[in-house]
Amino acid sequence: MNETELTSWADLVALGTRNAMSGLSQMIGRDIDVSEFSLRRVPVTELAMLVGGREQDVVGIYLTVSGAADGHLMLIYEPRIAYAFVDLLMMQEPGTTTGLGEMERSALAEMGNIIGAFFLNSIADATGLSLAPSPPEVMMDMAGALLDVVSADILLTQDETYLAETTFAVAEREVSGVFLVMPSEQLLRTLLEQAA
């Protein structure tokens, strides 16, 4: 991918991410601050390093992208942050949620739905492509185990993946998370052709 293509992709993902964060903000009725947005190519083996190593306990909300091309979307939180988000989503006092039952998983899945739909809709609007998110899967496990789901898919044909990483925080609450977008090479090519 050359510089122009990278910029073009960065613009698309930034647009999608802004839209996704705006959807999340509407959902929880609070402002969201994006503190970091980065775009790079990383070895698949290093994905777990982004979230504290393979043994780190994390909560992941995972969606696949299908339609014109495929890719992966994943939100990753420390468990205490995921609990704090559940409290926000369910309009509970901070500290109410201490584990993930069916209700809590459902709330987080809804958060995945909103972020996935807002993200993909804005990219679809900008490119005219039809891209659909899968129903979200909520997992709580070791980071390495969660990321195996994505890694196996990518390692089938590649060693590296393009990665858009967004770190965001909710205003007035000490909660922040990481939103990862990993397009397949095919999706990237399709997006760039459409955007050109």
Least Cβ distance, residue 149 to another protein (angstroms): 5
14 binds another protein (CB under 8 A): no
Show the binding pattern over residues 55-84: x = contacts another protein (CB under 8 A), - = does not. xxx----x-x--------------------
Count of residues that bind another protein according to CB under 8 A: 32
CB neighbours of 93 closer than 8 A, spacing ≥ 6? 87
- Considering only CA atoms, give the Rg of the chain: 16
Span near another protein by CB under 8 A; candidates 23-31, 33-41, 156-164, 186-194? 156-164
Report, in Å, the least distance between residue 151 CB and another protein: 6
Q: Which is nearer to another protein, 74 or 88 (CB)?
A: 74
User: Which of 151, 166, 176, 190 is in the footprint of another protein by CB under 8 A?
Assistant: 151
Q: Which is nearer to another protein, 147 or 170 (CB)?
A: 147
Handedness of CA 39, 79, 175, 122 (dihedral sign): positive
190 binds another protein (CB under 8 A): no
Quick one: tokens of 58?
Answer: 């994390």
Structure tokens at 46: 């290093």
Binding site for another protein (CB under 8 A): 44-45, 48, 53-57, 62, 64, 134-135, 137, 139-149, 151-153, 155-159
